[in-house]
Structure 1
Amino acid sequence: MSRRLKTSLIVIGVLLIIFLPLIGSYNSIVGLEQKVSAAQANIDTQLQRRSDLIPNLVETVKGYAAQEKTIFTDVANARARLAGAQTVTDRANADAELSSALSRLLVIVERYPDLKSNQNFKDLSVALEGTENRIGIARQDYNTAVNNYNTSIRRFPNSIISGMFGFSQKTYYKASQGAQEVPKVNFTR
């Protein structure tokens, strides 16, 4: 082998040793970022599912409690704010507001025993409860994905790569102030 060929092979070898781990790190960060996006989409899907259930629940309650107009307006306004939320923080705050309005709506149910025994209301209540559980799990999954991503982009050598390619930390899904207290909902007596 000629000296020139040996030198070229050494240079190529050194470049591969340097760049292959960088490429692997970049691809790893991209994968983690996609998991964050997918987890956020899952939250949005569950929030939409809940939002779609609410009009039916409200209409069922309205049939029994027509004089409770303020709560119906509050629920509608909270749904609109959630639908218009753009950031994770705005979405979390709007979600907490909607949960609060829903809990007030469900308190009304206690005043109407006939409503509690209505099959449509029971079915909607079960669907809403299941959706609330799915939302909680989706939030946990999102925060886990954000934690993995944020940790990855801050570790060396990924911190260099994330800085070079503009990867920035993601925001955790946090409940708004006052949302730490779980509303007590009881559909049966």
Structure 2
Amino acid sequence: MDLTWLWILIGIVAAIAVIIVIWYIVAYNNFIKMKNSIEEAFATIDVYLKKRFDLIPNLVETVKGYAAHERGTLDEVTAARNSVANSSTTEERLANENILSGTLRSLFAVAEAYPDLKANTNFLDLQNQLNMVETDLANARKYYNANVRMFNTKLETFPTRLIAKKFNFTKQPMYEVENAAERENVKVQF
């Protein structure tokens, strides 16, 4: 009789150990899947950034012909584009992308002062392409941030936090607006 209880106890302990090992493997694999989703989302952003990156020189050249004395704005756009290309970390890349977005807004503001430029079909086509890329970028950033949010939440909650610590999974950066002025309400005046 005593031996039966011992075998039952060993069976229960073994079952619990198997359940813990299976949970451990599943939780680890989920971290890997989420990490890969974040990398995929960032790669999608990269695709759209490359499209935007390729459009910018054409846009700058088109504006140069009409607004030669707006050299400062054109130089800022070019410098921001180069900063993005030379970014070495994800955080640096995200910050430089935000700067580039701001300089592109300045470029379009300059274009508003030149009616001939605003009517130029090449400029309008480039502007439309850039607007489509910016829309795609916004959607890709939302997808990236959603994946990062899920990953970071799993990373910080118990008991998966134990696995994250053991395998050195670290918190991932969100794609955020760097310039506080861009968060403020837009004033529209007629």
Give me the TM-score of the superposition, normalised by structure 1: 0.85
Match of 1:85 among 79, 84, 87: 87
Displacement of 1:110 in angstroms is: 1.8
Q: Distance in 1 between matches of 2:72 and 2:126?
A: 21
Structure-2 residue corresponding to 1:180: 183
What code does the residue aligned with 1:143 have?
N
Identity, in percent, stands at 37
Distance 2:61 2:15 in 1: 70
Deviations 1:131-189 (A, max 9, x none): 111111111111110110011122222111111111111111111123325889xxxxx
Shift of 1:72: 1.4
CA-based RMSD: 2.2
Structure 1 unmatched ranges of 5 or more:
185-189
Q: Following the alignment from structure 1 to structure 2, what is the Cα–Cα distance between the partners of residues 84 and 122?
A: 29
Q: Are 2:67 and 1:52 equivalent residues in the alignment?
A: no
Distance in 2 (CA, whole Å) between partners of 1:171 and 1:92 is 9
| Change in 2 beyond 3 A, CA 1:127/1:92 | same
Deviation at 1:13, TM superposition (A): 3.8
1:52-108: CA deviation from partner (whole Å, max 9, x where unpaired): 111011111112122222221111101011111233332232122212221221122
Residue in 2 that maps onto 1:165 = 167
1:22-61 superposed matches below 5 A:
22-61=24-63
For the pair 1:131 / 2:139, whether they are aligned, the reply is no
Q: Give the AA of the match of 2:134.
A: E
Residue identity matched to 2:37: K
Amino acid corresponding to residue 89 of structure 1 in structure 2: E
Match of 1:187 in 2: none
Rounded to whole Å, the distance in 2 between the matches of 1:102 and 1:70 is 13
- CA deviations over 1:111-143 (Å, ceiling 9, x no partner): 221211111111111100011111111111111
**Relative to 1, partners in 2 of residues 1:70 and 1:90: Cα closer, same or farther, differing over 3 Å?**
same
Whole-angstrom CA distance in 1 between matches of 2:20 and 2:175: 37
Which of 144, 147, 164 is the aligned partner of 2:146?
144
Runs of 4+ in 1 over 4 A off after TM superposition: 181-184
Asked if 2 retains the 8 angstrom alpha-carbon contact of 1:60 and 1:121, the reply is yes
Work out the CA distance in 2 between the residues paired with 1:182 and 1:73.
28
